[in-house]
Amino acid sequence: MPTALVVDDAKVIRRLLANQLGELGYEVIEAANGQEAIGKLDRTPSVRLALIDWNMPVMNGIECLKAIRSDPRFRALTIVMVTQETEMGYIVAALNAGANDYIMKPFTPEIVSEKLLLLGLIDGQKT
């Protein structure tokens, strides 16, 4: 079973994403900020997917993304930013920093499934 990391300071968002990813066949670990996420990745290097919020205390999503991408162990990790930031500049910044894709809040389970399908992380039978 593949492992996913959900990083968001809002517990309700973490739970929503964790439940959906669980239904799609993922084991899920959670973190409330970027710094906690880095620690969890260090302890669980087999994580295949990270869904990271942009606006969080301690270490925000873009700082977390840059820290992850600077570590050679996580170059193959698929990272999707999940955030309310809808301005094109934010999207470009996330993609330039190494995000594989971007999901806007509010989102639906179908949107998350479609992104994972497009990224090759689930097959069409699980959507």
| Statement: residue 79 has pLDDT above 70 | yes
Mind listing the pLDDT tens digit for each residue in 19-66? 999 999 999 999 999 999 999 999 998 999 999 999 999 999 999 999
pTM: 0.92
List the CATH number of the domain containing 46.
3.40.50.2300
- Among candidate residues 85, 4, 16, the one with its CA nearest the CA of residue 41: 4
Domain carrying residue 43: 3-126
Number of domains in the chain: 1
For residue 115, the model assigns a pLDDT of 94
Contact residues for 120 (Cβ-Cβ < 8 A; gap 6+): none
